[in-house]
Chain A
């Protein structure tokens, strides 16, 4: 199995631009998670889906952030408009229900 796949691995953009991060979970997993890692707060859960349905989005910082999971094999996290404080590493993880979460390699986002 290829594991959780994320793209792009690196993204540099200018403030105000739209950013879309993509994730392909491990085949057969029914839960998908988006995390953000910063030095100050470590790994923070932004949102998680179960069977393609958003279950908890309380970690989404504000309305500029949105996430979708149109099918079991694909999810996106969108930031519009992006701001410099959004600069972080964004991880996607998947699991079968509450079993161990497997993380992707992350997308390193820099907003100038």
Chain B
């Protein structure tokens, strides 16, 4: 049973616009959330994270928002660039080391 869900398998956005990737989770014990980015033929790379005690974390063009009551988080990329085209995985942790990943959303930024 998927504890972390990414319901949109793909997203296309025009260059310069905002990309919003969504993620839902079911386990209220998750206390740390992460976004990973994956290019073809490479492993996922860490992008940005947020603790459950916060509702927003920003790093340059990337911002993650957490809504604990809705068990929902989102990743905003603005402005989107063609190099952002990749698969984005949402992940969550309960405090132990193991991460629970979603199935990923493929973002395509159109030049």
Binding site for B on A (CB under 8 A): 4, 31, 33, 35, 39-45, 48, 50, 55-56, 91, 93, 95, 97-98, 100-106
Contacts and interface: CB of A to CB of B under 8 A. Distances in A.
Interface of B: 2, 6, 34, 36, 41-46, 49, 89, 91, 93, 95-104
A4 B2 CA distance: 27
B44 A45 contact: no
A91 B98 CA distance: 14
B93 to A, nearest CB: 7
Contacts of B103: 39-42
B101 A98 contact: no
Contacts, number: 60
7 closest residue pairs by CB, A with B: A103-B43, A42-B103, A43-B101, A100-B46, A103-B44, A98-B97, A45-B98
A91 to B, nearest CB: 5
A72 to B, nearest CB: 16
From DSSP, what is the main secondary structure of chain B's interface residues? loop
B43 A106 contact: yes
Given A93-B43, A100-B46, A105-B43, A42 B102 contact: yes
Contact of A91 (B41, B44, B102): B44
A78 B7 CA distance: 32
A84 B67 CA distance: 40
A89 to B, nearest CB: 9
Given A41-B2, A45-B100, A48-B98, A101 B46 contact: yes
